[in-house]
Amino acid sequence: MEALPLKPLVDEPLWYKDAVIYELHVRAFADSNGDGIGDFPGLIGKLDYLQDLGVNTLWLLPFYPSPLRDDGYDIADYTSVNPSYGTLADFDRFLNEAHRRGLRVITELVINHTSDTHPWFTRARKAPPGSPERDFYVWTDDPTKFADARIIFKDFETSNWTWDPVAKAYFWHRFYSHQPDLNFDNPAVWQATFDALDFWLGLGVDGLRLDAVPYLYEREGTNCENLELTHTYLKALRRHVNERYPNRMLLAEANQQPAESASYFGDGDECHMNFHFPLMPRLFMAVGLEERYPIIDILRMTPPIPESCQWAIFLRNHDELTLEMVTDEDRDFMYRIYAQDTRARINLGIRRRLAPLLENDRAKIELLTGLLLSLPGTPVLYYGDEIGMGDNIYLGDRHGVRTPMQWSGDRNAGFSQGNPQRLYLPVIIDPTFHYEAVNVEVQQANPHSLLRWTKKLLRLRNRHHAFGRGTFEIRPADNTKILTFVRQYEQETLLVVANLSHYAQPVEIDLSPFEGLVPVEMLGETKFPVVTAKPYRLTFGGHGFYWFRLEQAESR
C-alpha cells in the first residue's frame, strides 16, 4: 500500500472525544519473522493500512511477558515486551511510527490480578504470613469469606479462592485460578501499580485501559464490586496522571449496570472514558426484536456524565459478547437469536465475531456499524470486523474470535510466511468465511466490499465533530421499528434515522424544531425535501439507514 501523508498529533486534551478506536492484538495482526506469531515489526508494516482505514487510535491487547493462559491478561512482568512480539525498542519504534501517522496508542494496565508466575506471587507464597511480601495478594484460611462475590468465569471456576500448597493458604482470584488478585489494602501494591503506569505513560503511550477495574477491593458483606475504596484509588491514580502527563487518557473496563458503570467517571476526576457495556447487548436486541425500545430505554437509564468524559461504545471485542448484566429473559432471547449452537456460548455470553453473529447479513452489519459510528460516544472497532471476518467456535476459551487477521488469499491468509502448523491459532477456513474470499486484498479491490463501505463511513464520521462531541436527542417518530436521533455540535446538526426491521418501513418524524432546514443524505450528498412543521415522511428498505446533515435552505 502507498504511504499516506504523515499527520502529526495535535495538542488536544479531549482527543479521545474525536477518536475512532481500533482494537487489535499484536500477535494476531502480522508476523514479520515467520514464527507464526504476530509481532511489532509486522504491526509497523500495517500502520499505513490502519491510517487509510480512517481510525485514529489503536488499542493494543496485553503484549507483556506472560504464560498466555488468559491471552496475556495473565501478566508476568509489567514493564517489558513478550519476546515473541519483539523488544521494547520495537515497541518504541511502533509508538513513534503510529504517532507520525496521527495514530494514538492505548495499552493495557491490568492491575486487578497478575499471573501466578509473576515474581511478586512467587515471592508472596514463600513469605511469612503477615509480611508485606505475602500481603501483595489476598489470602485466607477460610474459603467461605467474601461469599457474596459472584464467579465471573463460571464455565471454568467453582470458587474465587484457590488453595496454594506452598503458602498453605487460599488466595483470592476473580478470574482464572492462575490469576491471583493483587491486594489494594497494601500501600506497596498502590506504588507498584503507579510504577507500571509511569513506565508506559513515560514512554509516551496516550491512554491506558484499566482492565477489570470494579474488583480491586474486597469487603465482607458486599459483592466486592464498585467499592468506595476502588474509587478512592482511581482518584489518586487520576491525580497522579494529571500532575505528570498532559493529554493522556484512562479508559475503564467496568462491566456493570448503567449507574455503577457511570460511577467510574467520578466527578470528572476518575476515568476519562469508560466502555458502555449496558448499551452493547441492547443494540443486538433491538435488531433481533426489530424494535427501538432496548436502545432508547438503556440510553434513558444512562446517567449524564461529566463534560470532559466520554463513553466508549462497541459491538464486539476480544471477549465473549457478555450477557452478565441483562435479565434472564433477555439472555434467553439473545441465546435463541444469536447462539442456537451451544458451542457458541461461554460463561454468560456468546463467543462470536460480528459477521457470523449476524449470519453474514451485509445489511445488518452495515446497520449496526452505522449505529456504532453515530450513537453518542467514541466507537471501538474490533480488528477483522471491517472485512466481516469469521470465527471458529471449535477453538477453546475465546480463541475463536482471536484468529489471525486475513490480509490476502496467500498462505496463512497473508498473516505469516511460516509453516501453517506453527500459527498461534489456525486461520479461518469455514466455507462462508474462508480467508481466500474474506481478506483485505480482495476487499480493497472491490468498491462494493464491506471494507470499502466502512472506510467511506469512517471518512464521513471524521468530517463531523458532532458524532464525537454533539448532544444527543431522540426525535419522536410514529413507527417503533425506526430509531431517530439528532446530534448537534456548534454549527452542525446531524439527523440519523435507522430501520431496525428487515422489511421495508415508512415513518413520520417530528422534525418541527428544524423547520426550513434541508436534510442532505451524507453518503450520496443528495438533498431531500425541506423540513416543514408537519411530520417528516421517509421510507426505508429493510435495515436501511440514513445519515443527514440538516442545512439552511439558502445553501441549496
Contacts of residue 481, defined as CB under 8 A and 6 or more positions apart, other chains included, come to 290, 291, 292, 499, 500, 501, 505
| 17/318 with CB nearer ligand BGC | 318
Minimum Å gap between C-beta 218 and ligand BGC is 16
| 25/549 with CB nearer ligand BGC | 25
Q: Which residue type occupies 253?
A: E
User: Among the options 253, 270, 366, 397, which is catalytic?
Assistant: 253
Using Cβ positions, the residue closest to ligand BGC within the complex turns out to be: 73
Which grid cell is 322?
A: 457478555
Minimum Å gap between C-beta 348 and ligand BGC is 13
| 18/211 with CB nearer ligand BGC | 211
Residue 253 annotated in active site: yes
Minimum Å gap between C-beta 161 and ligand BGC is 17
User: Among the options 135, 206, 211, 386, which is catalytic?
Assistant: 211
Minimum Å gap between C-beta 423 and ligand BGC is 20
The values of phi and psi at residue 189, to 5°, are -70, -40
Task: State how far the Cα of 93 lies from the Cα of 306, in Å rounded to an integer.
Answer: 35
Burial status of residue 145 (CB atoms within 10 A of its CB: 0-12, 13-18, 19 or more) = middle
Using DSSP's 3-state secondary structure scheme, residue 45 falls into coil
Minimum Å gap between C-beta 62 and ligand BGC is 9
Q: Render the burial of 266-285: b for 16+ CB within 10 Å, e for the rest.
A: eeeebbbbbbbbbbbbbbbb
| 211/225 with CB nearer ligand BGC | 211
Which grid cell is 526?
A: 443528495
| 376/379 with CB nearer ligand BGC | 379
Minimum Å gap between C-beta 41 and ligand BGC is 25
| 318/351 with CB nearer ligand BGC | 318
Using CB under 6 A, list all residues that contact ligand BGC: 70, 73, 175, 211-212, 253, 318-319
Task: State how far the Cα of 233 lies from the Cα of 235, in Å rounded to an integer.
Answer: 5
Q: Which residue type occupies 354?
A: L
Angle separating helix axes 279-289 and 293-301, nearest 10 degrees: 160
What stretch of H or E contains 498? strand 492-499
Active site residues: 211, 253
